[in-house]
Amino acid sequence: MKLLKLSAVAALTCALSITANASENKPKRELKNNMMVKTNIVPGKVDSLSEMFSKGIFYGRLRMNSFKWDWKNDDTSATGNKDNKAFGLGGSLRYHSASFNGVSAGAGLYFTSSPFSSLRQPESELKYAKAGKDTFSRYQVSQGGAWEYAVLAEANIQYQISKTKAIVGRQIFESFLTKSNDTKMIPNTFEGVVLETKELAKTRIRGAYFTAQKLRDHTTFHDVITFKDEAGNSWNNNDDSAAHKGLTYANFKAAGKDVNHELIVVDARNKSIDNLKIDVTYGAVPDVVSSLTGEVNYKIALGDGYTLTPGVRYMKQFDNGGGEIGGATLKGGLAGQTGAQLGYKDAASLDSYVWMARLVLKKGPLKAKIGYSAVADEADIVAPWRGFPTGGYTRAMAQYNWYANTKTFNIEANYDFDKAGLVPGFSAMARYAIQNFDEAKQAAGVQADSKILHMDFRENFGNGLYAKIRVGLVNADDRVNGTEKDSYNEYRFELNYLF
């Protein structure tokens, strides 16, 4: 691991001297306000195999993340809560070759380290780490390993002909169900095959077949949905915060089912009608669960530079055998149960749906949004691939509001002070959400009703340097048993340097 660390640091340091055709006025990459990377300069086409690699481009990133989680009630014996903190240093070195006869290749090496014991939870308190758990590998540390690791999270070959391309290998795939969610140290990536075509006018169609996933705090690729491994370790395999904890290795085995699964995603986007965007997504883990989602957004010009965009999303979830194995709740407490249990009408079914709507108002530096979502009083929504079902509509930072019979109201305002000519490089966002959970399901692990104020403050210093402060203030009701368990304040600070 030490050798791997030194290699990663050396590669990052060397890459600082590589300009790779970057324009002085246009950086190779930049961070958007949501901290997603936008690539401005990509390799072109070449006429020889040697040029394919010599004219490729390196992309570097250095980053730091710090986290502080302060529970209102941290009486561990009564609530299971404990104040926690985390700190990470690291970065990435990505390379993409030029294209020769339609063929190109890419790879991404990522590194993270939590070097200061005073800024992290001790090893004996790993289970209490919340948002900052992605700065290290809980499984690795729990097995006596180091608080640092490097991983080749991306490694793929791409072939493109006309407006159709195929990507094979480890890759980022941004879709409604699957996202990199690269807001910590290392992105969420997948292993498999993606086909994409834009041959039809104003239409994009994609199909993905993934055999493995690597969550952000994992050192290896693992199953896309199985929770826990053969030894019962909950930090190996898919231990995402939104994982279905009833779909365990042991439960699949007990049901005589395979513990190795694939994730299939097929989506289409059409913009044939001016100002209208239509998205359809089908997702499935065969023999476990599947879903079909439709979304429509229509932009209306209001005059004086204002636009108003109404949007609607509907997701229907189908039980393909997972309900009988893992139960209707993501918390796992209904595995093997039948009938009405713990506030769920059918403990053995994953059939469900969620719908949501929003209005987005824009003008220049201002973006304001109001949204609402409602989950059917059936099963929880299964989506542990970092593409949050209510994302962009009602989800607030660190919140999971797709439990059965949950209703959420959200208002949000973004303002780009730089674009307004007021403060160079500065932008801010404030979001307020009211979450109404089903008290009858608290026995199954669902949280109490809450109100969340979430704020982001971002600064682009120029020359590839960015800073961001995130604050989440959660005021929740007591549980029905009288316990204060769900209120907390969370603070995050992030630095990024792109080169």
pLDDT at 14: 39
User: Does the pLDDT value for residue 176 go beyond 70?
Assistant: yes
**Identity of the amino acid at 457:** F
> By the 8 A CB rule, do 340 and 444 touch?
no
Nearest to 176 by CA among 283, 84, 82: 283
> By the 8 A CB rule, do 464 and 27 touch?
yes
Instruction: Compute the average pLDDT of residues 257-279.
Output: 98
Whole-angstrom CA distances from 146 to 2, 89, 137, 237, 358 are: 9, 14, 9, 19, 45
Contacts 24+ apart (CB under 8 A), 43-50: 43/96, 43/97, 43/98, 43/99, 43/104, 44/98, 44/99, 45/98, 45/99, 45/100, 46/98, 46/99, 46/100, 47/100, 48/100, 49/100
pLDDT at 26: 81
Total domain count for the chain?
Answer: 1
Which CATH number belongs to the domain containing residue 215 in this structure? 2.40.160.10
Q: Is 347 helix (H, G, I), strand (E, B) or coil?
A: coil
Which residues, including other chains, have CB under 8 Å from residue 122's CB and lie 6 or more apart?
none
Runs of H (alpha helix) within 278-344: 322-326
Who wins on pLDDT, 33 or 262? 262
What pLDDT band is residue 117 in, cutting at 50, 70 and 90?
Answer: very high
Nearest to 387 by CA among 192, 204, 179: 179
The residue range of the domain holding 487 is 2-498
Q: How far apart are CA 390 and CA 373, in angstroms?
A: 7
pTM assigned to the model: 0.93
Tens of pLDDT, residues 57-69: 999 999 999 999 9
Q: How far apart are CA 120 and CA 138, in angstroms?
A: 12
Which residues, including other chains, have CB under 8 Å from residue 482's CB and lie 6 or more apart?
none
User: Does the pLDDT value for residue 301 go beyond 50?
Assistant: yes
Q: Which two tokens stand for residue 148?
A: 């640092």
**Identity of the amino acid at 242:** A
**Identity of the amino acid at 69:** W
Q: How far apart are CA 107 and CA 110, in angstroms?
A: 10
Which residues, including other chains, have CB under 8 Å from residue 371's CB and lie 6 or more apart?
356, 357, 358, 359, 393, 394, 408, 409, 410, 411, 412
Tens of pLDDT, residues 1-19: 443 343 444 443 433 333 3
Which residues, including other chains, have CB under 8 Å from residue 66's CB and lie 6 or more apart?
85, 86, 87, 88, 119, 132, 492, 493, 494
What pLDDT band is residue 23 in, cutting at 50, 70 and 90?
Answer: very low
Cβ count near 369 (within 10 Å)? 20
Buried b (16+ CB within 10 A) or exposed e, 377-392: ebbbbbbbbbbbbbbb
CA dihedral 209, 212, 213, 219 (to 10 degrees): -150
Direct distance between the N- and C-terminal alpha carbons of the chain, in angstroms, rounded to an integer: 25
Q: What are phi and psi of 373, to 5 degrees?
A: -140, 150
Q: How far apart are CA 168 and CA 104, in angstroms?
A: 11
What pLDDT band is residue 240 in, cutting at 50, 70 and 90?
Answer: very high
Which residues, including other chains, have CB under 8 Å from residue 164's CB and lie 6 or more apart?
195, 196, 197, 198, 199
Q: How far apart are CA 24 and CA 464, in angstroms?
A: 12
User: Does the pLDDT value for residue 229 go beyond 90?
Assistant: yes
Cβ count near 213 (within 10 Å)? 25
Tens of pLDDT, residues 85-94: 999 999 999 9
Alpha carbon of residue 175 to chain centroid: 10
Contacts 24+ apart (CB under 8 A), 258-261: 258/287, 259/223, 259/226, 259/230, 260/223, 260/226, 261/223, 261/224, 261/225, 261/226, 261/285, 261/286, 261/287, 261/288
pLDDT at 32: 87
Radius of gyration of the chain (CA): 23
Instruction: Compute the average pLDDT of residues 231-246.
Output: 96
What pLDDT band is residue 306 in, cutting at 50, 70 and 90?
Answer: very high
Q: Which two tokens stand for residue 133?
A: 């758990």
Q: How far apart are CA 285 and CA 262, in angstroms?
A: 6
Nearest to 399 by CA among 376, 423, 373, 377: 373
**Identity of the amino acid at 131:** A
pLDDT at 11: 40
Burial class (CB in 10 A: 0-12, 13-18, 19+), 137: buried
Q: How far apart are CA 32 and CA 487, in angstroms?
A: 30
